[in-house]
Structure 1
Amino acid sequence: MSGLPANRRILLLHNDPIEIERLTIGLNRSGFSVIAADAGRLAMHELVHDPPCLVLAAEGTNGRSADTLARELRTDPFLGRLPLIILVRDIRVNDLDWATLGIDDYIAVPYRPEEVPQRVRLCLSRLERSLDANPLTRLPGNSTILHETTARIESGAPFALAYLDIDNFKSFNDRYGYARGDEVLVVTCRILTTVVSELAGTDGFVGHVGGDDFVFMSVPTTIEVICQTLIKRFDLVIPDFYDPEDRAKGFIDSVDRRGNHERFPIMSLSIAVVTNEHRTISHPGDVSKIASELKKLAKSQPGSVYVKDNRKTETEDPASDSHAA
């Protein structure tokens, strides 16, 4: 992942023509285009039509302090949505309350010419990661998952990718509410990241597709022990999230998606494992297709199960590859 958006237009708010030229030259050399203006003369219709990806504003623009400049930009309906970097004199750095200023970064003046594009890149990269991350678990989201999957496919090295789904999670949410459901997702995240870190090390990756769907990756040689350990730890702690009477019964009475009353067992895991050990995988879409088949098989079985695809062709039956830890 490049860490940079396709749009590389920077809105530069500054009063000093010499500094505007200096900053523009440096940013242009790094592949950015610059729209220079001051806060009082913004052609908003042009900006809305072709919006910038970041605002770089110098303290003193139109006589405004960093506090005032940041406050006015943040309350602007359009500019307030963009990441903001403030240029501030080094002697002023300790005078500002950075916790309440509401900016994304600052650059102390005087600065080195190469520092500005570097800080802009870092700010945009940080923003992209933040937007992609799941707000509850802070795990990487779909864009990062796709990038990581593509990178492993293109490397040509052996890899294993697993989709994890929590069975009966919706009925648990319906019974106990979303707050307790979120606790289950957070605990699942902690179990998953801990196990993958312990057993896969730097070869591991964990992402959160959304809801109760997670993804993790490792080399093929460790994927099964990861699945087994995940299931053991999940099955050990998950009954504690149920009220004593439901835990004793081993199920909850709830309503399914069609409005019918039904008994739902204690939550369990269905894990679908895709690997390129025995067949060539050339596209992330191949991974999704195979995982979808395996996931259906895993969900058709009671309790926590992982299914690993060891087929060499699509016509083989994957049923023999299911395991309960």
Structure 2
Amino acid sequence: MPTVRPRAAAPPIPPASSALGHALLIMGDKWNLQIVRAVFDDTVRFAQLRDRLGISDAVLSHRLGRLVDDRILDAQPYSTSPPRNEYRLTDLGCDLWPAFVALWNWDRCWTPDRPTTLLRHRICGHVITPVFGCGDCQAIGVTARDVRTDVDAPLLIDVADRRSRRTARSDAAALDSCSVLADRWSTFLLAAALEGNRRFGDFQDRLGSISPVTLTDRLAYFVDQGMLIRTPIVDGARRQEYRTTPKSLDFFPVFAALNSWAARHLSEYGRSGLTIVHNAGDHLLEPRYTCNACNAELHRTDTEFRRLRR
């Protein structure tokens, strides 16, 4: 049995805890995603965010409060009469940048008809397509098929007391990353599928308190959107399982980035509850992006997004 190099000697994560689950709960919300994405783009004031996102004052106020509570954003006063804040990314929030690059990459590939942005690498000056890889062994082009996972703790943690259970899903034919992560169950379901779960009962076990009706609904949604396909468990059998497609496998870098972020910031043990091992070197995957023009490792401060005009 190959040996995986641990991050550090540490006691096991308590069974009821999942740092990855917490991360997915924070980011598995359409408005949270859009708010953080807008703040990355220097849209930092309440009215600016409301007008850009087309969000109600009440919903925006609630989401901003939660993102501040989760230490993703920091409210910085710029006016005392009347009281007004700017919302800036904390160090914790800034470290989400690789996940948002992964989301941007997926949108660029799978929603080509939607307006998007260009990413420029300031170091070489090129407009680029980031390449996902492993920082441990410097490999590039790493995909979901190049790794294996080991579950250390339940994916879903019970924090439903303070968060909305659902944000309305988009049923539009052209799916984007925000509608993939439109609500917590969709987010957790896709994460479970990328871990290798295939059968209805497997998803139920992995997701804990999800109801059969909700699970059926979300599975059907992902089948309709081309993220999963139904296949018979045995040829000719009535029982079916759900397999990932290239469209869903391309979402892997998003979860890999969030998993790494959760391990660094949301767990005192430095473990997320899900170990992702890069098969090529049999080591823990360290997500990173490189420039497809100059091959340099990409950093938030060395890149800039440019919005395309409609």
TM-score band, normalised by the shorter chain?
under 0.3
User: TM-score, normalization: structure 1?
Assistant: 0.21
Higher helix share: 1
Q: Which has the larger radius of gyration?
A: 1
- Specify which structure has the bigger relative contact order, considering alpha-carbon pairs within 8 angstroms and separated by 6 or more residues: 2
